[in-house]
Each structure stands twice: as structure tokens, then as C-alpha cells.
Amino acid sequence: MAAIYGVVISVWILTAIENMTKTTTDFAELLHGAVHHAIHFLPAQGSLKAFVHHNTLHAFEHLSFFDALREASTVLNAECLLSESEFRQELRSEGITWEEVDAVLRETLGADAEKAIGNLGCRFQLQSAMLRHQVHFAEASELRWLIQESASANQFRDDVDDSVRGAVVAQTRRRFIGEHQPIHAGAPVINPSLAAALNQSPVGVRRTWGEPEWEAFTLRLLWLACLGGTQVAEKQPSSGPRVCRLRDRLLDQFGEDIDLGTNDIMIRFTSSFLDQGFAQRSLPGRSEGYYQAFLAHYKTAWLPPHFQLVGLSQELTRLLKSNQSSWASISESLQLLKLDLDEIEPFLTATLLALPGWGGMLHQVETRSDRVAVGIPAGAVVDFLAVRLVLERVAGNRVLRETGTSEELGGWYSKHRSHRPESKSLQRETAFSLYQVAQLRGWLPETLLRLTNDGWSELLGEIQNFGSFQRRCLFQLVIERSYRDRVLCGIKDLHQRKQVASPTVIPIGRPCYQFICCIDDREESLRRYLEQVEPNCVTFGYAGFFAVPMYYKGVGDAHYAPLCPIVIQPQHHVREIVNSTDKDKHDNQKRWRQRFAANVHWVHNNSRSFVGGMGLAFFGMLSTLPLVARVLFPHATSRLRRRASSLLAFPQSTDLTLRRNESPSPNETEVLGFTLPEMVAAVERLMRDIGMMTVFSRLVVVCGHGSASLNNPHESAYNCGACGGGRGGPNARAFCQMANDPQVRAELRQRGLVDIPHDTHFLAVFHNTCDDEFQFFDLAQVPESHAGDLRKFRADLEVAQCANAHERCRRFASAPETLSPRAALKHVQERAEDLSQTRPEYNHATNAACFVGRRSRTRGLFLDRRVFLASYDPTQDDSDRQILKRILAAVVPVCGGINLEYFFSRVDTDRFGCGSKLPHNVTSLLGVMDGAASDLRTGLSEQMVEIHQPIRLLFVIECEPDSLLRVINANPQTAQMVGNGWVNLAALSPETDEMHIFNNGVFEPFRGALGTTPLTSSSSAWYTGYHEHLEPAILE
């Protein structure tokens, strides 16, 4: 018997243990999943030293575009589209008519357009009215004000047609001037309140009323009807229980914001933890990890770090003694807060998103330790979360203690957690929308009063399903459609015109020179002007790393920096070295430079310290000179500085360590240079991709680009995106040296790949897009025979440079409109050298489209610096479209990423962008904060995106639709971006001017109004006097 008991008991115990361990592992898994899911939502921006553009809503890319926006706006508490009034402004400035809006609406609704809503018209009519007229949303308190203080209670809206208003008032008057007859049908709620309303003004009084009184009475009935209707209508299913953070509940209940103390400490500690060497002392115990360092740092103190955190050191001492990991600490906190299992994930997400910038930076530094100078121990984000929960608990306990609440925190929180907006105010808000729509549509109060409960439910459903978000989605489509039609018609019209007009626009025979630059939208105008100055030249666009991905270290650089798109991991290192003749001079200068820098560094550090600073203060008066000079005369000062620093500058005669003979051994960490086959492959790849296979001019110019500006923490965001936020000059130089190499050429010829003529010379150039200056590389290597070609090119480039600067200046509000091209060049140079300039250039702002195809299809079209131009020749591609595949694999994510980053930074500059530049404060040498302390600000600043028009990038690709579809679907990333509508897509037939538009997975033929594209004599004639976006125009 005992044995049986024993067996039963031991079986029972074993099962219990098994269950226990099972639930613990389940819980651990759940927790891990929840934390990793939450981390996914953090912004993915790394150090500002190398700014890489990416889709801000990358975490939502698996959803279709508009679904993602809706999801993101709730999770991240942000606006994902412009506001309705901004959209109306856009419609006005773009000259879009309401007929065009209606057309898009009809198309989106499809067969549902004619769906009748009771006897109140059809869905299309309802939605069209809601689009045309702004339906104001008012919160309960504002609503009360509107009804009580404004005219909206007794006057129709101003934008209601007079005839509509007259008819409604007249009908109501006829119906109610006599004795009141009960309205039979309809909801029972309405009749009593209606009767009450009528009783207040009996028949005798009503007879004396004039027009205004009847209008007020009509509106009153209408309001009563709407209010009653919202009460009887079936409730829309709410979006499920929202988990409120502990802080939100405490704030609602007691008016104390515990984020004040929590954020204060977390910001201070996290920036010390992440510091890349700004502070003169590093955080003690940093190598132990974030959590341990935090516990050790705050465990003993005679005062808490913040008055809200009284009791912190006791809690931390307890945690230290229990010796648990940060994971265990998180689950302990969750248990103490008594969270249900299904609440954990939204709760942790909301908690982590309290400081998204710092959390995201911890994650970036942790996972991309190769991109920062000082790495951090692993698991920092989890630690960060654990610490936050501990702090919130301590602060929460204090609030309960101070307010005399006897409950313990978990119990209090679980009681007050689920929080829903009060239904009554929600009803009022809905009723107010309905009230406005009823006025706009001219509905009679009586008709509404007769509606049945089902009728009300249907009507309210229609109104709520076309809320602000849906209306803005539609506006978004309208704006994008308008731009798309103009660009596509422009390309079509251009084609038509070239058929008729003489084809002199396209050079025949050997061009004067060929110009290869980055696909960057900023180079569009430069190419246009070069082509205008010398009609017999050809320009190409290729991603600005020119097929040479490398780690590069210039003569003056201390470290290698990657120069290639972020997706590529370079395999080669290239160093710039000084020619042996200049070696001594160089070493001498290097020593001087080092000495100078060491002094500067000493000054920098000691001006912040005790004794050194004192001495400096006496010489401080001397700094008035540079201060006044640099602020008042930036241009002259910078010229002076340049002349002075040229004493310490490096000689121009340098070389690249490009060539290597043997293939690298596997244990070589720093593979210096390229082998011959690798160089051949690089040259061939670029030539093939841009379709430059047969015709070679005597001079081929390859132009990389970057940007230099002063006092600008976001400087690297202005650089070449295809170089991962670096400057593309060295890539152009390396490519030219490869292409000029006789062995490479021989090999190319021998293999029958490309036959580059002997008299063709490749010349590398660097374009600074901020001050529009050009730097030429290896001029000494240009053969004597090419001196004339070079002279000619430089002369043309100078004209194009000034014209380009002039076109840029039209966007700057502070540039006078009367500038001559040469003065414009001086103006942009001054901007680049001015310490006080917050808009040195507008970078990619206004980017809107990307054209992949032959330049001849867009040459002669004014595209307003809004279009990325990638060269691709479909006639030279194989039937499998191998070339297009590899071009799109890079171009779609890179250009799409740039576009989407601008998109979201523009629509919500405070949440997705980094706000205004003015209060920015560089911290930890990693990022910027607002003012003294704030979350780390990611994204682009207001000054960068203010002129941007947020539309999704339109890809126009020269390829037949069916093969394009195959190409797109071959790459999962492009398939996702295109398929989910994160970019728009159109196909241009290589032979004809036929076009197809990608819509919901299929290509539909494009039917635009042809011949609408304006003609203009020159670019400047088209843009002069305009600051706004300009539509494409054909240059005659």
C-alpha cells in the first residue's frame, strides 16, 4: 500500500516538476520572443559618422504600404501621412482639380462606388463630399466650445452651397411650422428629445421666426438626429484592449510623470555607456555590461539620482544580492507588475519605445560593432529594458507611497491597466462628423430621423470607414498619380517629338566625350547642362561606387573606411600613397601636421579643465579674431584658411595601391589591391551595365561625388549613398586607373568582352555637391595628345557648374532671384563655408522618381533634380535580363530607402525625423539630442526635408512588362518592396513609347493625355522665378 502511495506521489511530483519546468521554458521563450519583437521596432540608424539612408518603417515592410502606415501609426504613435490641410495645400500648389480626385476615388472604389446608403445617395457621393470639404474632428472639450461659442450650432458651414442650404431650411420649415406630428418610423430615442426640442419653441413662437431662426432650428434638429443616431447605432468593434504603460496610468491618476526621473537617469547613463571618446573618463565597470554597471553605479549613494527615485539604492542592493541576470530581472518586474501573458509583448514594446533613439543606438552599436570606434558588451538592449523596468517600479512605488495609496504597485496597476476612451465622448465626436457631412450633403433632418437602427448602423459604418486616415490615403494616391502622369507623359511626348523633329539631340558617331556619374538625383541637372553645353556628348549614370567596392585609406586618413553600398562587404583594401619623389616632403609635413593636431587636441581638452583653461582664458581674447572673421566674412576667412592649411596640405602626386599580382592567401586580413582578373571584371561590369560597349570617345570622365559643409553633424548624410555615406572620389579614381591599365584593356580585348580604343583615356573627377566644386585626379597621367580634349571638357564643365549652382539656388529662400550663374556659384560656395548656415544644400529633398534605361529616352527633358537616372541599355541585355536583375537588386532598395526616409521624416518630422536642427546637441560622438538632454534623435532634420514632397518613388524601367515582372520577382527584396507598394513601378517599352503601370501585381497599359507636356527654350527659362516643384518640360 505504502509502495503504491509512494509511486503515486513520486509520479505526481515528477509531473508537477515537469509541468513547472515546461511553463518556465515556455515563459522564457515567450519573453525572448516579446523582447526581440519589441527590438524590431527600434530605429535602425547607426552613428552619424556614416549616415546610411534606409526605410524608416523597415520593420513593417512585410505589410502592404497603407496597412503598414496604419499599423505603424498605432505602434509608434506617429503620423504616417501628411495632414488633410497639408494635402489640400499640395493639391492647390500642384494645380490638381477635384475632378482628378474624383477619378481616383472612383477607380479605388471600383464596383462599390454606386453602393447605395439607404436613401442618402451612394458611397461615391458621400466620400467625394468628405474629400472636397474638410470634415473637422473635434475632441469632446473642443466640441463643447464649438457648439457653445462658435457659429457652427446655428449656421450652416460656409462651404455648403446656398441652394442646398435654402432647400433644407425651407423643407424643414414646411414640415415643422404647424403642429408637430410624431415621426413614426425611426429610433425610439429620437422622438422624446425631438419632442423636447419642439416643446421649447411652441407653434406660436415658431410662426414668428425668420430665416436665421429656422436655420438654427434645422441645425438643432440635425444635431439631435445625429446624436441620437450614434447612440442607437450598433457599436463598431473597438480595436481591442490597449495596454497602457504604468507611467501613463500614474500620470492620468496622480498627475505625476515618472518618465521625468526615469528618462533623466537613463539618458545620462546610456550616453556615458555608449560614449565614443568625448568624455575624458569612461564609465567604471562598462565592460561588465549595461545592467551590471548600472547596479554598481547607483547602488550606494547618500542621495538618489532624482527625487522621483527615492529608494533606488535599496532596490539595487537587493537586486545585486539576488545576483540575477537581466532576463530574470525583466521577468521579475513583469511578475511584480502582475502582467498577463498576452499583455507582455505590447507592454514591453511600449516600454522600450519610451526612448526609441537610445534603445536603437544600443542595438546598432551592439550588432554592428565594426562600424564604431568603441564597442559595447553584448545584451545591452535587454539590460536597458531591465533597468528601465526597475526604475519605473521604484518611481511608481514612490508615487503610490506619497499619495497615500495603500495598495502595492502590481495590484494597483492591474486594476487600472485596461483603459478605454469613454464611449460618450466618442459618440459625440462621431456625431459631429456626421453632423457636418449631413450639412454638406444636404440631408433633411426628417430623413435622418426616420432612419431605422440598422440604417443608422450602416450610415455610421460608412462614415467611420472613411475616416481621416482613409481620406489621407486617397489624397496620397492623387498626388502620386498626378506626378506619375506628368512624368510618363513627358517621356512619351519626348519620344513623339524625337520621331518628328530632327534627331540631332542624340549624337551620332564618336561623341566629344562621355561622362559617367552617380545615379544621384542631384546629378540630373549637371548632366542636363553638360548635354546642353556640348550636344555631342553622352552622359551615363551608375551607382557612385563605380563597381569598385573597397576599404579605402587616404594619405591623410588614420583608418580604412568602407566605400561601397551598405549591403556589400568589401573584399579589398586600397591605400593612397605618396610618390617616392615627394616622400621626404610628405613625411616632414606629416610630422608638422601631427604636432599641430596634438596641440589642437591639448587646447581642446584643457580649455575645458582647470589650469590650462585659466592660461587660455588670457589668450582667449585672441579668439575674437577668428570669431568675428568667421561669422561676418565666412568666404574671405575660408579662403585665408585654405591658403594657410595648404602649407600643411599633402602633395597632389599620390598613387593608389591598386594592383596586386598574386591572389590573396586566406589568412590575409588586409587584402591590398585587386588582381588582374578582378580588375577586368570590375571594368567589364560597369561597361556592360551602362551599355557602353562599342562607342568610346577620346575622353571618358568618371565623376564621384560627396559633400562638405561646416557645423553640420549630419554632414555624412549628404554624401554618396552608394558609398555608404562616404565620398565617391576614390572609387572614380580607382575605376579610371583600372580602365586605363593596358593589361586590363588587353585582357578585355582578348576575351572579346570590350574593345576600348587605344586613344581613349579615362579621367576621374570628384564633384562636391554642396559648393559645386570639382576636383580632378591624376591629371599628370593625361597624355599630351589629350590636352585639347581635357581643355574643352573643363571649359564645358565650368559652364555647367555655374548653371547647376544657379538652378539649385532657386530652391533657397535666402538666395536672391537676380543672381547670375557665376554669382550663384559664389553663393553656394559661401553657404558651404558659413558656420551659421543650416541649409548648406537640400540633399535628396524632392526626390520623386527613378529612371532605369537609356539616357536617350529622357535626354532633353527637364526633370527638376527629382529623378535618379540609372543607365541601362535593354537592347544589349540577354533575354533573361541578367543585367537588369543586378542593377535593380541595388537600385530599388537604395533609392527606395532614400525616398522612404525622406517621406517619413517629412510627414512626421518630430517622430520619424530629428526635428529642428537649431537645438541639436552632439552626444557621445554618435548622434544628436535636442537641447540639454532628450532621446537620441534619428532621421532627417526639418531643415533637410522642409521642401520635400512626400511621394513614393516612381520607378520607370525600360523593359517589356512581362520580363520586368520576372526580374522583380527574382529578388525577394525587390519583390517585397514593389509587391507591397513601397515604391511605384512603370515599364517603358524599349522599342516604342508604350507604357505600363504596375498595379496590384499586374501591369496595366498607361493612358495619359498626350501632348500636354510644356515646351521651353531652356532650363533657366522654365524655372526662373519659381521656388516650388516644377513639372517636366521638354527643352527645345
Residue 303 near other proteins by CB under 8 A: yes
**Any bridge partners for residue 540, and if so which?**
516
Closer residue to other proteins in complex, CB, 280/875: 280
Residue 715 near other proteins by CB under 8 A: yes
- Distance CA(959)–CA(978), nearest Å, equals 16
Q: Interaction with other proteins in 652-671: which residues (CB under 8 A)?
A: none
Burial class (CB within 10 angstroms; exposed 0-12, middle 13-18, buried 19+) of 367: middle
Q: Of 478-486, 680-688, 704-712, 795-803, which segment contacts other proteins by CB under 8 A?
A: 704-712
Q: Which of 740, 773, 742, 930 is nearest to 841 (CA)?
A: 773
- Distance CA(1035)–CA(532), nearest Å, equals 9
Residue 1020 makes CB contacts below 8 A (sequence gap 6+) with 803, 806, 807
Alpha helices in 41-109 (DSSP H): 65-75, 84-94, 98-109
Residue 631 near other proteins by CB under 8 A: yes
- Distance CA(890)–CA(986), nearest Å, equals 18
Closer residue to other proteins in complex, CB, 217/529: 217
- Distance CA(388)–CA(329), nearest Å, equals 11
Q: Interaction with other proteins in 30-49: which residues (CB under 8 A)?
A: 48-49
- Distance CA(535)–CA(528), nearest Å, equals 10
- Distance CA(733)–CA(46), nearest Å, equals 28
CB of 834 to other proteins, least distance (A): 6
Closer residue to other proteins in complex, CB, 125/193: 193
Q: Interaction with other proteins in 787-806: which residues (CB under 8 A)?
A: none
Q: Of 34-42, 236-244, 828-836, 969-977, which segment contacts other proteins by CB under 8 A?
A: 828-836
**What is the number of other CB atoms lying within 10 angstroms of the CB of residue 342?**
11
Q: Interaction with other proteins in 949-988: which residues (CB under 8 A)?
A: none
Residue 140 near other proteins by CB under 8 A: yes
Closer residue to other proteins in complex, CB, 935/958: 935
- Distance CA(279)–CA(605), nearest Å, equals 10
Is residue 525 within 8 Å of 534, Cβ to Cβ?
Answer: no
Residue 712 near other proteins by CB under 8 A: yes
Closer residue to other proteins in complex, CB, 70/220: 220
Instruction: Report strand pairing: 927-930 vs 1002-1005.
Output: unpaired
Closer residue to other proteins in complex, CB, 148/406: 148
Residue 170 near other proteins by CB under 8 A: no
Residue 586 near other proteins by CB under 8 A: no
Contact string 177-196 vs other proteins (x = CB under 8 A): ----------------x---
Residue 198 near other proteins by CB under 8 A: no
Dihedral (C-alpha) 170, 174, 178, 184: value to the nearest 10 degrees? -110
Size of the site for other proteins (CB under 8 A): 112
**What is the number of other CB atoms lying within 10 angstroms of the CB of residue 603?**
14
Which residue type is seen at 231? Q
Q: Which of 709, 718, 993 is nearest to 840 (CA)?
A: 709
Dihedral (C-alpha) 365, 371, 373, 378: value to the nearest 10 degrees? 30
Among 203, 341, 628, 779, indicate the residue that binds other proteins (CB under 8 A). 628
- Distance CA(809)–CA(405), nearest Å, equals 63
CB of 195 to other proteins, least distance (A): 13
Closer residue to other proteins in complex, CB, 309/898: 309
Is residue 417 within 8 Å of 249, Cβ to Cβ?
Answer: yes
CB of 295 to other proteins, least distance (A): 13
Closer residue to other proteins in complex, CB, 711/1024: 711
Residue appearing with cell numbers 463598431: 236
Residue 368 near other proteins by CB under 8 A: no
Long-range contacts of residues 434-438, Cβ cutoff 8 Å, at least 24 apart: 434/226, 434/229, 434/230, 434/459, 434/460, 434/463, 435/222, 435/223, 435/226, 436/133, 436/135, 436/136, 436/157, 437/126, 437/129, 437/130, 437/135, 437/463, 438/222, 438/225, 438/226
Q: Which of 663, 685, 654 is nearest to 571 (CA)?
A: 663
Closer residue to other proteins in complex, CB, 257/994: 257
CB of 653 to other proteins, least distance (A): 20
Among 511, 713, 897, 939, indicate the residue that binds other proteins (CB under 8 A). 713
Closer residue to other proteins in complex, CB, 61/910: 910
Closer residue to other proteins in complex, CB, 396/1008: 396
CB of 986 to other proteins, least distance (A): 35
Residue 468 near other proteins by CB under 8 A: no
Closer residue to other proteins in complex, CB, 79/689: 79
- Distance CA(320)–CA(30), nearest Å, equals 25
Long-range contacts of residues 1005-1008, Cβ cutoff 8 Å, at least 24 apart: 1006/488, 1008/485, 1008/488, 1008/489, 1008/492
Q: Which of 739, 299, 714, 262 is nearest to 542 (CA)?
A: 739
What is 159-192 written as a DSSP string? Answer: TS-HHHHHHHHHHHHHHHSSS-----SS-TTHHH
Residue 310 near other proteins by CB under 8 A: yes
CB of 143 to other proteins, least distance (A): 7
CB of 765 to other proteins, least distance (A): 23
Q: Interaction with other proteins in 270-299: which residues (CB under 8 A)?
A: 271-272, 274-287, 296-298
Residues in the chain: 1036
Residue 594 near other proteins by CB under 8 A: yes
Closer residue to other proteins in complex, CB, 12/592: 592
Closer residue to other proteins in complex, CB, 154/973: 154
Q: Interaction with other proteins in 546-565: which residues (CB under 8 A)?
A: 556-559
Residue 354 near other proteins by CB under 8 A: no
Among 191, 930, 1016, 1018, indicate the residue that binds other proteins (CB under 8 A). 930
All cell numbers assigned to 936: 537620441
Q: Of 172-180, 216-224, 246-254, 791-799, which segment contacts other proteins by CB under 8 A?
A: 216-224
Is residue 115 within 8 Å of 123, Cβ to Cβ?
Answer: yes
Among 835, 1009, 1015, 1021, indicate the residue that binds other proteins (CB under 8 A). 835
Residue 1026 near other proteins by CB under 8 A: no
Residue 403 near other proteins by CB under 8 A: no
Residue 317 near other proteins by CB under 8 A: no
CB of 472 to other proteins, least distance (A): 22
All cell numbers assigned to 671: 587584402
Q: Of 306-314, 472-480, 532-540, 575-583, which segment contacts other proteins by CB under 8 A?
A: 306-314
CB of 425 to other proteins, least distance (A): 8
Residue 426 near other proteins by CB under 8 A: no
Q: Interaction with other proteins in 597-626: which residues (CB under 8 A)?
A: 597-598, 600-601, 604-605, 607-610, 613-614, 616-624, 626
Instruction: Report strand pairing: 1015-1016 vs 1002-1005.
Output: unpaired
Among 220, 242, 641, 660, indicate the residue that binds other proteins (CB under 8 A). 220
